Amino acid sequence: MIYIKDKDDTTVVPNKKKFQIPYDKEETIELARDYFRNNPEIRDEAIEVMDLDTMERKCWLCWKTNINTDIPDRMLNMVNAYVNELWDYQYYDDRMDFDILERAEVFLFDTIEEYTYAIAKILLAYFPDKYIFFKDKRALWFFEESDHFKVIDSEADLFNHYYFILQKSIMSVRSEVLQFGSDARDPLNYVTKKYASTEIIIGLYWLTDEMNFGDKNPEKTFFLIKSPLTVMGLSDLIRWTLYRVKVAEDHRRGKIIPIVDMSVEGDNNQFNGGDGTNAWTMFFEQLTDIPIAEVYQSKNVIRGADQLFMANPYIKEESMFPDHAALFRKYLRFNEKTQNYVDALYDKVIPKDKKRILGVIGRGTDYNLDLANLLVNKPSDPEAFLKRVEQVVQEGDYDCVFLATEDANVFKQFMDSSLASKIVYVDQERIDYNDKENSSRFLIEIYNEQKRDGYQATVQYLGIIHILSKCTSMIASVDCGAYHIAMGLNDHRYEYTEVYMKKDER
């Protein structure tokens, strides 16, 4: 993202090449974008913008990456924060997805920068009847005021001078790159139409990265979901893949064919170790009968992951307001090998004479790390969680407890309790986070060091989730991935569910 700094800003670091850009309403931002793209070594430096009429400096233009860099690298790796800096978008591209702009009649921008500039240009070109307000006088460097384009000092001006606007739907646009804090995950932002400029740009251009791999299937358009998985876990693989599938189908109304190819060679993920195997079809059915090899020989293929998909507003909304049951019912199918495995594991673990089974997810391990709690909720302590489970077992008259946990301490707490005689479980490796060597590490880091068999570990995890989804009821120590996947697979059949987190302890 290119942003403006005032001409007298003393924090600016001028570029060593002394490159300057002439001030021009139409070309200044584009010239700066081209220069930052072609000269990555100066992206931490500023470009001077000169007013050719006065031969004086007008401002500085600076660049920053499309992701919040204040978060530790370990955490960025955890969320698979793959960055695309969007160098090549065009203002007049009929392949854009205008849904995001059609949601409001009035747009209120905080600041003029590269993306708010682009959004305003697109609104003026494609939606001239909509109203644009900037709380930044520098917007007039690039646009002329008109009945539909105004600069204001504050929101109070809307009330005092443009009262009729308040009767229309308003979208607030903040100048912000991809964030990961709690504010960025607030669902109310999307209900009240509060978006980051990065999100709107991604929402506009996410279906424009079209490739021509050959001459096959000229009448079809494929949506290719392919991206590095890095340290992404099973739940994220399932959910973020299917969010993209659903949004693509919804926004192209069935005129696009999603296909998943998670075979990025050298991507050292937990499923295939980076050997180039499609991590999706290792466990699940492909979403189309058309072979992946044929897709790579087809005429119209949209790359659906070379964007900042976690900043895509449509995909973020799916993640904020998911209906996993409907999503899985439509798109998620175990392949034959996986289905056979999970069915056999269920028969092995669950006694045939047990009818009322409580599924218990004791998520501990790295969910207790302070670094992880930047993004996820903290689980209840093992003692408090056990006490709550004992209450639920008694109240619900369950004759069996299926315990799912990778945490050795949670497992011990339960097996030393009065519930031990009712508990069944899968014999799996469990990690002791009281061990000093493990206490500050993410689970995936421990597993990578152990060089586990990625396929066997994942299919076993799927088997555990499958068993959870077949239980009468379920309780979890936090709203983790296993909980969400089991809920979706269960398809609203649970008699009772509960998430009992740290904040719920009494």
**Hey, what domains does the chain have and what are their CATH numbers?**
2-63 (no CATH), 73-205 (no CATH), 210-331 (no CATH), 337-504 (3.40.50.11350)
pLDDT range class, residue 371, cuts 50, 70, 90: low
Averaged over 18-42, what is the pLDDT? 92
Question: Is the confidence at residue 68, as pLDDT, over 80?
Answer: no
User: What is the Cα–Cα distance from 225 to 248, expressed in whole angstroms?
Assistant: 10
pLDDT-wise least confident of 160-164, 183-187, 464-468, 481-485: 183-187
Averaged over 209-220, what is the pLDDT? 94
Question: Is the confidence at residue 305, as pLDDT, over 60?
Answer: no
As a whole-number percent, the residues of the chain with pLDDT over 90 amount to: 65
Question: Is the confidence at residue 329, as pLDDT, over 60?
Answer: yes
Summarize pLDDT for 340-367 with one digit per residue, the tens.
999 999 999 999 999 999 999 998 777 7
Task: Return mean pLDDT, the chain.
Answer: 89
The sign of the dihedral angle between the CA atoms of 251, 307, 257, 267 is negative
Question: Is the confidence at residue 296, as pLDDT, over 60?
Answer: yes
Tokens of 137: 């006088």
Averaged over 447-460, what is the pLDDT? 85
Question: Is the confidence at residue 84, as pLDDT, over 80?
Answer: no
Question: Is the confidence at residue 423, as pLDDT, over 90?
Answer: yes
As a whole-number percent, the residues of the chain with pLDDT over 70 amount to: 92
Averaged over 267-274, what is the pLDDT? 83
Q: What is the pLDDT at residue 282?
A: 96
Averaged over 399-417, what is the pLDDT? 94
User: What is the Cα–Cα distance from 433 to 364, expressed in whole angstroms?
Assistant: 9
Q: What is the pLDDT at residue 94?
A: 85
What CA–CA distances, in Å, run from 468 to 354, 404, 457?
14, 8, 17
**Bigger pLDDT: 230 or 350?**
350
Question: Is the confidence at residue 82, as pLDDT, over 60?
Answer: no
Q: What is the pLDDT at residue 434?
A: 76
**Bigger pLDDT: 375 or 415?**
415
DSSP secondary structure of 71-138: S-HHHHHHTT-------S--SS-TTS-GGGGGG-SEEEES--BHHHHHHHHHHHHH-TTSEEEES-GG
Tokens of 394: 């008694």
Q: Which of 226, 238, 247 is nearest to 305 (CA)?
A: 226
Summarize pLDDT for 136-153 with one digit per residue, the tens.
999 999 999 999 999 999
Summarize pLDDT for 307-323 with one digit per residue, the tens.
456 778 998 899 889 99
pLDDT range class, residue 376, cuts 50, 70, 90: confident
Bridge-based pairing of strands 170-174 and 47-51 is unpaired
Phi-psi region of 474 (alpha: psi -120 to 50; beta: other; left: phi over 0): beta
User: What is the Cα–Cα distance from 147 to 149, expressed in whole angstroms?
Assistant: 6
Question: Is the confidence at residue 72, as pLDDT, over 70?
Answer: no
pLDDT-wise least confident of 50-64, 270-284, 301-315, 405-419: 301-315
Q: What is the pLDDT at residue 308?
A: 56
pLDDT-wise least confident of 59-73, 119-133, 405-419: 59-73
Using CA atoms of 180, 118, 102, 239 in order, give the dihedral in degrees to the nearest 10.
Answer: -30
User: What is the Cα–Cα distance from 297 to 148, expressed in whole angstroms?
Assistant: 47
- The residue type found at 351 is P
Averaged over 162-177, what is the pLDDT? 91
| Residue 154, C-beta contacts closer than 8 angstroms, at least 6 positions apart | 135
